[in-house]
């Protein structure tokens, strides 16, 4: 019973850190991130992405608005939404 790896996306496993994604993702939760070349540059509205900042990656939800993207944390009481700068998003 093996998996056909030709159909599986390229993925990385990482561990969530912090509380900005609560209640959706908790500190220490294991996460699988799709790093397939065919998904680069695509932004699906209201999906969660790893945004690289230096040696770290921040897990944030992205919302499309006309002419811009908004960075959203599910824990909105402690982390207000903000517009993305070009430096935040790499395709």
Q: How far apart are CA 13 and CA 32, in angstroms?
A: 5
| 2's tokens | 């093996």
Question: What's the total number of domains in the chain?
Answer: 1
The tens digit of pLDDT for each residue in 9-51 reads 688 898 999 999 899 999 999 999 888 877 777 788 999 988 8
Could you tell me whether strands 82-83 and 30-34 are parallel, antiparallel, or unpaired per DSSP bridges?
unpaired
pLDDT at 61 over 90: yes
Length of the chain: 91
Domain at 10, CATH number: 2.10.109.10
Question: What pLDDT band is residue 79 in, cutting at 50, 70 and 90?
Answer: very high
Most confident of 20-34, 48-62, 74-88: 20-34
* Containing structural domain, residue 23: 5-88
Look-up of token digits 């294991």 = 30
pLDDT at 87 over 70: no
């Amino acid at each position: 019973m093996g998996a056909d790896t030709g159909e599986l996306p390229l993925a990385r496993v990482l561990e969530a850190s912090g509380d900005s994604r609560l209640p959706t993702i908790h500190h220490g939760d294991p996460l699988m991130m799709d790093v397939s070349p065919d998904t680069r540059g695509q932004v699906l509205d209201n999906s969660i992405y790893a945004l690289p900042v230096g040696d770290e990656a921040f897990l944030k939800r992205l919302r499309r608005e006309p002419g811009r993207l908004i960075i959203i944390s599910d824990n909105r009481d402690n982390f207000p939404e903000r517009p993305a700068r070009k430096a935040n998003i790499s395709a």
